Every structure is written in C-alpha cells, then in structure tokens.
Amino acid sequence: MATPTTLECNLCGHRQAYIPFRPAVCEQCESQWVEAHYDYDSFKREILRGIPNRPNNLWRFQDVLPLNDPSALDLYPAGGTPLWHSNRFAPDLGHGSVYIKDERYGPTSSFKDRQAAVAVAAMNENGIREAVIASTGNAAVAYAAACARAGIKLWVFMTSLVPQEKLREAALFGAEVIRVSGNYDQTKQIASQFAQRKNLLLDRGASSIPAKESMKTIAYEIVEQLGWRAPDWYIQAVSGGLGPLGVYQGFKELFNMGLIPKVPKLAIIQSEGCAPMVNAFKAGKDIAEPVVPDTHIIILSTGDPGKAYTYLWNLTQTYGGVMESVSDLDAYSAMRALAKSEGMAVEPATSVAFAGFKKLSAQGVIGKNELTVINCTGHTFPVEKHVIGDQWAVDVYLSKDQSPAPREGLQAALENLDEKTTSVLLVDDNSDDALLIRRLLEGRKNYRVYHAKDGWEGLSIARQKLPDLIVSDLTMPGIDGFGLVEELKLDPRTKDIPVVVVSAKDITIEERNRLNGHIEALYQKGSLPTRKFVDKVINVIEDKTDEKSAH
C-alpha cells in the first residue's frame, strides 16, 4: 500500500485526505502547493536494507508513489536512467564534477515518461478509460505511448507551432491529436473545456499528485547513483515547471529522512523568448507576469507559468538557487557542442539547460568544484511520417498570431471541435454502401468516419478508436453483426458505444430478441432513403451526446 497517508499544505499546514484525480488544492486556503505524505519510516528501512528485489526503474521507489497496489498492475517501465560523468563538455569549461542525468533512455526518450507511467497507472487503477492532455510536445508523446499499452483512449491537444514530428509521433501511438492554431495557454484552455464538455479526465500537470510525484524519482535515482550523496546544484530547463517541482519533493523527502545532509541549489533555465519566470526572479518578485512566447523552441513556450513559478521561487529562497535565460542561438550552439564533446544528440529544449550551465559557469554562479547534475531529456526527431498517413490530426483555429483569442472565437472553435472529434465507425463489407453513407455523413457534419470491411476489423477499430457511434451491417464474412454486437458489449471499453444495425434481409423474431437491449436502432436496407437514414444516425449521435453532457 503506497497511497498517501495525507496531503499537507505548504502554506497553512492544513492536512486533508488524498482523493485520486481531484485537483490537489488546499481545502483551507485554496493553495495549490500541497504535498503528499507517506509512511517514510517504513520506506527508510527498505532503503537502508538496499531496496532488495526491486526493478531498476522508477517502480523501485513505489513506496512513495500514489498507487494502492503497484504489484497488481502491469506497470509501464520508465526511469532507471543512467547518470553520466561529463568527460569533455564540462571539463572544457573548467568543471570536473558535472553529471548528466540522461532521461533519453525512457520509452519515448523524455523525462515525461515518468509522469506518464505513474499517471496512467493511476488511471488504470481507478478504472479511467479515456483522458485529455494539453502539451507542448514531450508529455503528449509519453502519455500516448503509456495509454496505448494500457488501452486508454487519449485526446492530445498541442499548439500547431509544435514541430510536426512531435504531433505525428503522438498520433503514431494511437492518440487523437488536436492541433490548435494558437499559443500553449490557449491550447490548455480549449483542452480543459473540451474535457468538461465530454466529461473526461483532464491531466492537470503540476496540480495532479500522480504527475508531480513521478518526478521525485529523478532525485532518488540521482542520490543513489552518487553513492547516497546530494549534488550541490540541480539544473533543468523548464516550460511550465512541473519537473523541478516534483524533483525537489524527492530531495526534500531524502533530506527529511536523514539520508542526505542538504537539498541542492536549484538552477531554472528558460529561453529568452519565453522567460516569465526569469523575468520575475530577476525583478525580485514571487509572482510571474505572463508573456507572449517568441521562441523557436516551442517545447518551452509556456507564457503563463501561474503558481508553479511561485513555488519554484520559494524553493530557491529556501535552498538557494537562480533562474537564468539563454538565447535560442546559445541553445543551438550548446546542442552542437554536446553532440561533439559527449556524443549525445538532444533536442533544443534540453540544450537550453546546458547553455544555461555554460552561462552560469562564466558568471561564477556555479563554482568549478561544485558537484552539479543537469537534466538531459528529449531526442532528435523520429521518422513516423514514413509509417502513418496524412489524416492524423484535427485542426482548431483560434488566432493567426499568438495573441489571446476572443471569447466568441473560442466558443465557435469548441462547437466546431465537437463535430470534428465526433467519430462514426461503419462496418460493412459492401464498400459502395459504406462509401455513400460516409459521403452523406461528411457532407452534413464534420464527423470523422472510419470504415471496416468486416466484423473482425470493425471490432479492432472500435477498441482502438472508441467511436461515438457504430453503424454495422448484419451479414458479413467472418464474425457477423450479431457476433460483433455481442463482442462489443462484453468489452468494458466498448460496451457503452451506441450501435445502429442495418440488415439487407428480413430478420426473425429470435434474431430481434438477440439484438434487443444491445443496439440503439435496427433498420432494413431500402426501408429509408439513404439521406433520411443518415439523418437518423446524426440524431442518435446528438441525442447520445446531449445525454452524456447531462451527466
């Protein structure tokens, strides 16, 4: 049992129960700086025993992760990444004690794999089968991969400024990708409203206990890999700030258990084109003012960090630290230098941290003999464009530039998105009939229409795409419409998807009884003009949508 014993507010000290997937907000003062607490005495005993018989990944530290029974789950592997000593990059700058925490060794080559592993395990444990996430790139890919393994349908909202390779990679893992023409803060807003309209779980990043807790395993691994020593500095490039917030929870827990003598100083690095945290830090403010992102490094383009900055600022005031920014050009230069000196190919978002280290070294902020760990995440772009087609994303247009969208524009976009994300699966071995229905549907509404040529293919697509409605023929080779309906109703993932059945032949009373209670409607082919049949299908979809929204 590793469920948090309590949640404690860092501002007022109020304690409250942990409830999975409820936003971690203090019931007393409404602060979001709430920390989970566990049975640390028991866990410390395990550490002193050498944590025997544990996997070499983040589940090594499952005693302090918010899951009831991790051993009962088919856990997605993440963490357990190497800590490399910098042999050339740092020594060339006069530093001999710099280590690189290489998060590229995760399932999708990002430290966000940890977040996805714990968050998706928590979803599985709590019976959640569909979720929404907004991301600047790496988190979307990590969640898409983890959800694919868990059989959870994922809606990914990303700004269209994110490199297409990132969006395409999320689509490769089966996520429904919504490409928003607007900035990241607008993307988060429309994702939140979409989740509300669909009654789906929205992953809330820094205010989600599973997401935040996952990151502290980085600190546990660093300390163990250093021989149970704490570094003097921990450096990370940030966008929204979830990563270091979670990492420092780990350092604090280790310190409070008496396993390390100090908590490291924190260096937060941002791109100059999107540095609201750095601007506030240098002005001596504990609240960051939002900025309009102006950087080519879109992964780090959160213009409004909100409360996350205040919590990070508090960490620097308590344990020491600094926030600094670097130019995109400096980041690209560090990217090349790291590749040539350490043989490590990283993406620009990671190279920002190394450029920041170089700048802080030149300023004398980080001493030549101070033991420093730099978070290294991300990878050069993959080649998914060669293995999936072109229709892998839905586009949403909010604004032509990065300015805030007017309220009426957001509402119109949401209404349009409702149509574009409504999906219909046609299961019919008669391609001509299916094509006619598809064209009529797409002519009336911006629905996404999938076609399966037989029952087995239909069952596979239904389980993968979880459509809003299935229209199935009764007589097909392989598994027929009766068998398809029965299989759909037996599967928890598909049992609530409404089904409309069409038949080319008269069906018996026994056959009607077999379908009774399992389908929304039964139509005889030819009994209605195809256009009227399509109107009936649309009515079923809209009625079911209204019914779902009411709940």
Residue 368 counted as domain residue: no
Q: Same structural domain for residues 499 and 401?
A: no
Residue 88 counted as domain residue: no
pLDDT in tens, 147-193: 999 999 999 998 887 777 778 888 889 999 998 888 888 888 899 99
Residue 272 counted as domain residue: no
pLDDT in tens, 254-290: 999 999 999 999 999 999 999 999 999 999 999 999 9
Range of the domain at 455: 422-550
Count of domains observed in the chain: 2
The distance from CA 404 to its chain's CA centroid, rounded to whole angstroms, is: 24
CB 287 within 8 A of CB 309: yes
The domain that contains 146 carries what CATH number? 3.40.50.1100
| pLDDT for position 385 | 42
Using 50, 70 and 90 to split pLDDT, how confident is the model at 417? Answer: confident
| pLDDT for position 429 | 87
Average pLDDT, the chain: 87
CB 37 within 8 A of CB 7: yes
Q: How far apart are CA 19 and CA 4, in angstroms?
A: 9
Residue 282 counted as domain residue: no
| pLDDT for position 289 | 95
pLDDT over threshold 50, residue 388: no
Residue 121 counted as domain residue: yes
CB 147 within 8 A of CB 117: no
| Least confident interval from 57-66, 358-367, 477-486 | 477-486
Q: Same structural domain for residues 454 and 545?
A: yes
Residue 525 counted as domain residue: yes
Q: Same structural domain for residues 536 and 432?
A: yes
Two tokens, residue 144 = 């898409």
pLDDT in tens, 423-459: 889 999 888 888 888 888 877 777 888 899 999 999 9
The domain that contains 507 carries what CATH number? 3.40.50.2300
Q: Environment class of residue 7 by beta-carbon count within 10 Å: exposed (0-12), middle (13-18) or buried (19+)?
A: buried
| pLDDT for position 404 | 57
Instruction: Give the angle 134-380-57 at the CA atoms, nearest 5°.
Output: 70
| pLDDT for position 544 | 74
| pLDDT for position 74 | 75
Q: What is the CA radius of gyration of the chain?
A: 26
Q: Same structural domain for residues 404 and 443?
A: no
CB 335 within 8 A of CB 351: yes
Q: Which residue, among 458, 482, 486, 453, has the nearest Cα to 470 in the 3D structure?
A: 458
Q: How far is CA 533 from CA 53, 106, 283, 436, 481, in A?
A: 61, 49, 65, 11, 18
pLDDT in tens, 292-308: 888 888 888 888 998 88
Two tokens, residue 260 = 């390390």
| pLDDT for position 354 | 97
Q: Same structural domain for residues 406 and 434?
A: no
CB 387 within 8 A of CB 247: no
Residue 371 counted as domain residue: no
Q: Same structural domain for residues 400 and 507?
A: no
Task: Output 420 or 474, whichever has higher pLDDT.
Answer: 474
Give residues with Cβ within 8 angstroms of 539, minimum separation 6. none
Give residues with Cβ within 8 angstroms of 35, minimum separation 6. 7, 8, 10, 249
Q: How far apart are CA 68 and CA 51, in angstroms?
A: 19
Q: Same structural domain for residues 120 and 198?
A: yes
Q: What is the average per-residue pLDDT within 4-24?
A: 89
Residue 492 counted as domain residue: yes
Q: How far is CA 493 from CA 81, 153, 386, 481, in A?
A: 33, 9, 30, 18
Using 50, 70 and 90 to split pLDDT, how confident is the model at 119? Answer: very high
- Number of DSSP helices (H) and strands (E) in the chain, helices first: 17, 19
Q: Same structural domain for residues 129 and 179?
A: yes
Which of 378, 410, 442 marks a domain boundary? Answer: 410
Q: Same structural domain for residues 426 and 546?
A: yes
Long-range contacts of 53-56 (CB under 8 A, 24+ apart): 55/80, 56/80
Q: Same structural domain for residues 426 and 521?
A: yes
| pLDDT for position 213 | 93
pLDDT over threshold 90, residue 82: yes
Residues of the chain with pLDDT > 90: what percent?
A: 49
Which of 410, 445, 471 marks a domain boundary? Answer: 410
Q: What is the average per-residue pLDDT within 3-23?
A: 89
Q: Please give the order of strands across the beta sheet that includes 469-473.
A: 448-452, 423-427, 469-473, 499-503, 521-524
Q: Same structural domain for residues 406 and 470?
A: no
Q: Same structural domain for residues 523 and 404?
A: no
